[in-house]
Homo-oligomer: A and B are copies of this chain.
Amino acid sequence: MIATIVGTGLIGGSLAISLKEKGVANWIIGVDQNADNLQKAQELKIIDEGATLQDAMQRSQLIILAIPVDALLQILPAVLDKAGPEHVIMDVGSTKQQILQLVAGHPNRGRFVAAHPMAGTEYSGPEAAIKNLFTQKTMVLCDVKNSDEDALEVIENMVDKLQMRLVYMNAEEHDLHTAYVSHISHITSFALALTVLEKEKEQGRIFELASGGFESTVRLAKSSPDMWVPIFKHNRHNVLDVLDEHIHQLQQMKQLLEKEDYETFYKLIQKSNKIRKILK
Contacts and interface: CB of A to CB of B under 8 A. Distances in A.
A42 to B, nearest CB: 26
Given A220-B217, A279-B210, A250 B250 contact: yes
Nearest to A230: B262
B245 A188 contact: no
A196 B216 contact: no
B191 A210 contact: no
A140 interface: yes
A253 to B, nearest CB: 6
Interface string A223-256: 1110011001100100111111111011101100
Number of copies: 2
A270 B225 contact: yes
Interface string A39-52: 00000000000000
Interface size class of A (residues with CB under 8 A): 35 or more
Interface of A: 118-122, 137-138, 140, 165, 167, 173, 177-178, 180-182, 184-200, 202-203, 205-225, 228-229, 232-233, 236, 239-247, 249-251, 253-254, 257-258, 260, 262, 265-266, 268-276, 278-280
16 contacts: A118-B211, A138-B209, A138-B211, A173-B205, A182-B214, A188-B217, A188-B250, A191-B250, A196-B242, A198-B245, A199-B241, A210-B279, A216-B217, A216-B219, A218-B275, A244-B254
